[in-house]
Amino acid sequence: MSEKLEQLNQAAADVTQTDFKNCCGSKNWARMMIELRPFANTSALIKQAEEIWLNLETEDWLEAFAAHPKIGARKAAPKQQAQSASWSHGEQSGTHAVADSVLDALAEANRLYEEKFGFIFIVCATGKSAEEMLDLCRRRLKNDADSEIRIAVDEQRKITEIRLRKLLEIE
């Protein structure tokens, strides 16, 4: 067991609550993760994280989505913690050095998406360019609401796994 995982297993609940909420903005997800400690290894932690996430209610998913800044946004989401904001900034590095026209198009696509689905566009941005994310957003705007929430849930699952690995420093 890694030293970081051992610390996570033994840390006070309030400390771990913050760590888990940095990985996924759902309070219920974080609470359930705390209750399942100790984790035997990273694989067990990732498996439990995914199982909990996929079995949450829609309101929990929406809470997690709201903890993210919009793709291409220059500031953190209102409810975002410093560590989570830092991770978001790095994950969205594909939007840092792009033309204003691309950022404007992303902002408009984000607006249309949120207007249609009622939540922000969620995509696992790691390794994606701004243009690629813009194209994904535009394509996903064609989805129906039921399909789109499932896609967004899976994107959040990917983000959470990446962040859990960052938390444990096993990128």
CA distance readout (Å), 30 to 46, 64, 80, 110: 13, 10, 14, 27
CA distance readout (Å), 139 to 112, 113, 132, 168: 12, 10, 11, 34
Q: Which residue has the tokens 């990273």?
A: 42
State the average pLDDT over residues 60-85: 80
Please write the tens of the pLDDT for every residue from 135-163. 999 999 999 999 999 999 999 999 999 99
The residues carrying an active-site annotation are 68
State the average pLDDT over residues 75-95: 69
Confidence label for 79 from pLDDT (cuts 50, 70 and 90): low
In the DSSP assignment, the letter for residue 149 is: H
For residue 142, the tally of other CB atoms under 10 A from its CB is 9
Kindly list the domain boundaries of the chain, sorted by start residue: 3-167
pTM: 0.91
Confidence label for 171 from pLDDT (cuts 50, 70 and 90): very low
Statement: residue 15 has pLDDT above 80:
yes
Share of the chain above pLDDT 90, in %: 78
The CATH superfamily label for domain 3-167 reads Oxo-4-hydroxy-4-carboxy-5-ureidoimidazoline decarboxylase (1.10.3330.10)
Q: Which residue has the tokens 């975002």?
A: 80
Please write the tens of the pLDDT for every residue from 30-59. 999 999 999 999 999 999 999 999 999 999
